[in-house]
Amino acid sequence: MAIVRPGVGDGVDTHRNDKLQRLRSLTQSAFFVLFLIAPYFNLLRFDLTERQLWFLGLRWSLGIDALAAGQISATEAAWQLVLRAFLPALLLVAVFLGVAYRWGRLYCGWLCPHFSVVELLNSVLHRACGKFSLWDKQRTPLANATPAAPQTHWWPIFFIGCLLMGFLWATTLLTYLLPPEVIWQGMWRGTLTPNQTRFIGVATLVFTLEFTLARHLFCRFGCAVGLFQSLAWMANPRALVVSFDRAQARDCKTCDAPRGSACDAVCPMRLQPRNIKRKMFSCVQCGQCLQACDTTQTAQQRRPNLTWQVGESALRETLRQRRHELTRRD
């Protein structure tokens, strides 16, 4: 099966990528809210004070306390351990990696609350200096947009945003380990314990520095969740990939005249979407490169050069990339 994006004149809505991005923004926002409120409703957290795992509002016991109290036998405790720990964990990992095997880092690009913050801060920083990262050497113009002078009043907004997100991340993570009402009431009343204060302070500092200096670097090189998704994705030659029509490669030079390469400019992971799959290891399947390509090429009455391919079409694309790479080496 192939995910084909028609070109101009096919009678199909050419704004489907805009709709896809709106849907992605909706799923990101919903999951971000879920990430914040999950501890309050005991949807998933481990309470250190009770030494108790909560899942979907219920106490999730492995039977160890019951075994120690002599209420169940060792055999019953072993079965509970298998049924309540090992099997759910294996099922979760299997489903998660199965999705990644087929569609890549879909969780990262469509759900991950950290990546949502990365994209938000990228947009604020771009308003301040025209770059998506402090490490970019040059300004990155937006596709089909008139270059605008940096707006310096966005700098304090960017740094305050990094600080607030760092604080929000620190306090939220702590509520996954301690009762949320204790943490928030303690901050409001100034009754946090020294250890709680130290945790929030140190974690806020670490997250603030990460959001300021290394947002996409962490996503690319430091996130274990993303790494395992990428490894599963790379193992499947039929997995979802961004396909580049090399027969129309000349159009890329003028896709966003006079700059060109609109797809490279919008990638939040700072990748080059027209590269081979191996060099797109950290792709999060956000689809922003497809949207930029569609926007710029459609504006010039041309077909987009980038498409999503999956299944047999993805396999053919992967084989074509390998042949192209071998030809370049020779």
Beta bridge partners of 46: 53
Supply the pTM of this predicted model.
0.84
**Confidence grade of residue 9 (pLDDT, cut at 50, 70, 90):** very low
The amino acid at residue 131 is K
Residue 329: per-residue pLDDT: 62
- Beta carbons within 8 Å of 2's beta carbon, 6+ residues apart: 307, 309, 310, 311, 312, 313, 314
pLDDT at 264 exceeding the cut of 70: yes
Residue 18: per-residue pLDDT: 83
pLDDT at 186 exceeding the cut of 50: yes
Question: Over the chain, what is the mean pLDDT?
Answer: 85
- pLDDT tens for 295-317 read 888 888 888 888 888 888 777 77
- pLDDT tens for 113-147 read 999 999 999 999 999 988 888 888 888 777 656 66
pLDDT at 14 exceeding the cut of 60: no
In the structure encoding, which two tokens stand for residue 162, read together? 């990094």
Which helix (H) or strand (E) segment holds residue 244: the answer is: strand 241-244
Higher local confidence (pLDDT), 270 or 213: 213
